[in-house]
Structure 1
Amino acid sequence: MTGWIKVALVAAGLLISSPAAQAQEPVDVTLVLAVDVSRSMSPRELSIQREGYAAALNHPDVIRAIGQGAYGRIAVTMFEWAGNSSIRTVFDWTVVETAADADALSAAVRNSSPVGLRRTSISGAILHALKLLDAAPFDGFRKVIDISGDGPNNQGQPVEEAREVALARRVVINGLPLMTSDGFDGGFNIPDLDVYYGDCVIGGPGSFLVPVTSWDQFPEAIRRKLILEIGGLPDIEGKVMPAQAAPTQFLQPSSKTSDCMIGEKIWQQRQWMFDDP
């Protein structure tokens, strides 16, 4: 039932609206931005990533996409993640309806100071995002987790299990695999991260990923990704969009298949290099 139909029925006395339901402001999308800050990313990469999100959040094209929705507003929250216990909120749930709203979020991102942290728990990031969606004081027509990362899951619950929990709740997971790294723990990355994300991370109706193979692609990639998430997509589940492609150009995933436990296996082989139990 759409928001305007609910309002009409409540006004006519045909539907009882509880206080809890009244507190749920309708929005087109409740969007969780989950941003990787694992130590495999260098300070330079963290800075580029931060600036890319800041520039995308208040870009005129993104604001225009928000205005074209049925409600003309979205709710968004953002957190940084690495290992299971390494999660930091950048900004809490915020409605974005105007350019001023978007400017405030952009400033919040620019004022943050990301620090590279140990391990990579994509599953932990997904499960944390689900908690945020459950607690959101908004009724999103679509619920989306936008997760970036430059390596496979190597800590916590297996990533496929976390994804299944999200899909059971009708939450869409989109991916931004970062396929370039010069950080400290780059030895834990894999060459086919886009295939891994396609096989093991993303899911739900219209889910997609935008691989980034060079950091100069990042600002455009995140901007386009936000526009597609805000505007919605046709049913193209499982297809892959490269960062340099036009929004309507999609590629079928590679015929390769990924071992969704590859990150855990790499960690087991190399954990002797670190002081981490």
Structure 2
Amino acid sequence: MQYKFSQVDVFTAVPYKGNPLAVVHGADALSDAQMAAFANWTNLSETAFLLQPTDGKADYRVRIFTPTDELPFAGHPTLGACHAWLAAGGRPKGAEIVQQCEIGLIRVRRKEGRLAFAAPPATLVEVDAATLARVAASLRVDPAAILVAQHVSQKPAWIAALFASREEVLALQPDFAAMGEMKIGAVGPAQGETDFEVRGFVPGLGEDPVTGSLNAGLARWLIGTGRAPARYTAAQGTALGRAGRIYLEQEGADIWVGGDCVTCITGDVVM
């Protein structure tokens, strides 16, 4: 069967400078095995499959696969899938768009010409000394170079390490083998166009160009501890030659994670 297909660049207004996402439309007839096989074939960090919702409050449902696993939630697939759904003629039931995924219902809104999602709740826990030592070894730095490290997201799990500057973050040369199962995000303050520089390291996949779930957790942590203002912009992907931009904002209890999306490829796939 043929299925409509989009490839979207997320967290950028400039094609091929963000994080690509494959999107398969109308994927309700596909089996788990077919979805997993296609995601493995695309070899992108994530592939999203758009389906009819099973929750009456949702506008659409999405399943998110990496080349090896299914994720209950991820940030850049949330924005990219929503962008693709709207571009294909999707019409939300209300003022906000509601996405259904394994983690539950995610609210998405359009503001200032870009999409943003309300980050799911997360428990912030400072890492213990043993974990900090593992993080430092994985990043090939002295533990003293990490100002503080924190668990900032559980699904997917991210450990964040705060550095004193953007330059220290960009100089990192991680040891992926030493990370084991840990996903590590590095962040440092920047000056100029953006407020922070971010990098995300995933064992088995390498460095992620731009990461919505990591930045959601970082924002909850940095804003909540007074290390960042209630509204700021982060850069990610610089070390990879990308120009990702993530727009973070706290409104009440909500952390909104926003970014531009551009469609780079449309067509049909056969499965």
Q: TM-score, normalised by structure 2?
A: 0.27
In our comparison, the structure showing a higher alpha carbon Rg is 1
More helix by share: 1
More strand by share: 2
